[in-house]
Amino acid sequence: MTSSSLLINFGSKTYAVTIKNFEDATVGILRNDIATQVQLPNKKLTPDALVLSYGGKPLNDDTVELDEFGLKHGNMILALVRVSGGAFNISQGRRINKDIPLSNEECIISLDNESPTMKLPCGHTIAPNSLAEYITNEISNCKTELKCPMCFTGWKLSVIKKMGLSDIEIKNMEMGLSKNYVLSDPAKHKQCPQCNTFLEKKDEGIKIQCPMCTKFEFCWNCLRKWKAPGTGYRDCGNADCGKNTAFIEVLLTCKPTAMEYSDIIVPEIRACPKCGEGINHKSGCKHMACPTCSYQFCFVCLKKWPCEGRHNEYRQRCTPAPRQTTLPKV
């Protein structure tokens, strides 16, 4: 039996947590060890206040052993702290592993004839530098899972980490996927606007006190400093907070959908960038024409069409715009 340490990132700070008997440790044991070893500034942390994620996957079953997630010594886990509204209840070099088969086949991404390439589990080949750049781009495009760009087969992190990535690239990949997973549900998960700690809201209150910031209270809806006196269950005191609340809530909580002709994930409902009319994307490409004002725009990046300057390139990749939190003034 051996002890190992995992890095627990709260968005604003990272803590090293030691787990005894690591080979047999479960998610529940990890949760208890974090609560015991991490000291928050304002309140004692409890295991049930923790929401954990690794490599874009939630660690929500306390009975599952850490080994099943491929966790090793020094890996980084993203941690959120559940908070209540209206009250404070805390709740280098490319070193390719010998297990990775090499190939002289062309890289599926690069045209620079970088050699050697590496065999992916799906059989396609990719060059080390191309892999690193592809992962960075996928994370910047809000992906929560890495897939082969040719056949869309999902990649296991335990395999990808052996394919020439540097230590910092591995940590950025782990954190990026976890952060994208958390922020894919903005109605439930957000970051403190002052210290960037990841938080999960567990009730209907909107007055939040961050457990990492000393006495800082903010509004969950508009992410601004709380102004109203008292508990302020629904009104934060900021003049324009709450306008069009019902439709904004729809934009924040609607299901994600995969665009045709690509694997880009966007909310299935968007507001027209010009008039604010709600548009539900059912099928077809990203080129949209608002039925109310006839404004043409891209459903992915929300820019005026053509978003990339090419009228016919509906397959052209662009950066997905985040979920809309405001509507245009008409």
Q: Which pLDDT score is estimated for 55? A: 84
Q: What is the CA radius of gyration of the chain?
A: 22
pLDDT at position 43 is 66
Angle at which helices 167-183 and 128-140 pack, to 10 degrees? 30
For residues 185-193, give the mean pLDDT. 79
Q: What is the mean pLDDT of residues 180-192?
A: 79
Whether 88 shows a pLDDT value over 50: the answer reads: no
Q: How far apart are CA 295 and CA 68, in angstroms?
A: 49
Q: Give the pLDDT band (50/70/90) at residue 90.
A: very low
Using pLDDT thresholds of 50, 70 and 90, give the confidence band for residue 91.
very low
CATH number of the 102-165 domain:
3.30.40
Least confident of 23-27, 296-300, 312-316: 312-316
User: Full-prediction pTM beyond 0.75?
Assistant: no
Instruction: Say whether pLDDT at 110 is over 90.
Output: no
Residues near 43 by Cβ (< 8 Å), separated by ≥ 6? 88, 90, 211
- Tell me the average pLDDT across 131-154: 88
Q: What average pLDDT score do residues 3-13 get? A: 85
Q: Where in the chain do CATH 3.10.20.90 domains reside?
A: 1-91+176-238
The tokens describing 180, both together, are 């994208």
Q: What is the pLDDT of residues 140-150, one digit of tens each?
A: 877 888 999 88
How far CA 205 is from CA of 219, 233, 326, in Å, comes to 9, 5, 20
Q: So what's the pLDDT on residue 245? A: 65
Give pLDDT, residue 84. Answer: 65
Q: Is the pLDDT of residue 288 over 90?
A: no
Tokens of 243: 């306008």
**Residues whose CB is less than 8 angstroms from the CB of residue 321 and which lie 6 or more positions away in sequence, other chains included:** 266, 300, 301, 302, 303
As beta bridge partners, residue 265 has 258
Specify the DSSP class assigned to residue 222. Answer: T
Q: Which of helix, strand or coil describes residue 167?
A: helix
pLDDT score, position 1: 60
Q: How large a percentage of the chain has pLDDT more than 70?
A: 86
Instruction: Tell me the mean pLDDT in the region 179-201.
Output: 82
Terminal-residue alpha carbon distance, the chain: 65
Write out the residue limits of the CATH 3.30.40 domain(s) in the chain: 102-165
In the prediction, which pLDDT does 119 show?
92
Contact 10, 77 (CB under 8 A): no
3-state helix, strand, coil in the chain (%, to 5): 20, 20, 60
Query: How much is the average pLDDT of 282-307?
Result: 83
Backbone angles phi, psi at 297, to 5 degrees: -150, 170
Mean pLDDT to the nearest integer, 1-13: 82
For tokens 């297990």, the residue is 99
Mean pLDDT score, 9-17: 84
Label residue 17 by pLDDT band (50, 70, 90).
very high
Can you list the pairs that 63-70 forms with residues at least 24 positions away whose Cβ atoms lie under 8 Å?
63/26, 63/27, 63/28, 64/26, 64/27, 65/24, 65/25, 65/26, 65/27, 66/19, 66/22, 66/25, 66/26, 66/27, 66/30, 67/23, 70/156, 70/157, 70/158
pLDDT tens digits for range 30-86: 999 999 998 877 667 888 888 898 888 889 888 999 888 888 888 989 888 877 665
Distance set, CA 90 to CA 10, 46, 200, 320 (Å): 14, 7, 11, 34
Contacts for 239 with CB less than 8 Å, ≥ 6 apart: none
User: φ, ψ for residue 168 (rounded to 5)?
Assistant: -70, -35
pLDDT for residue 197 is more than 90: no
- pLDDT level of residue 290 (50, 70, 90 thresholds): confident
14 by DSSP, 3-state: which? Answer: strand
Q: How long, in residues, is the chain? A: 330
Domain covering 1-91+176-238, topology: Ubiquitin-like (UB roll) (3.10.20)
Across the chain, mean pLDDT equals 82
Q: Distance (Å, rounded) from C-alpha 325 to C-alpha 151?
A: 34
Q: What is the tens place of the pLDDT at every residue in 229-261? A: 765 456 787 776 755 666 777 888 888 888 776
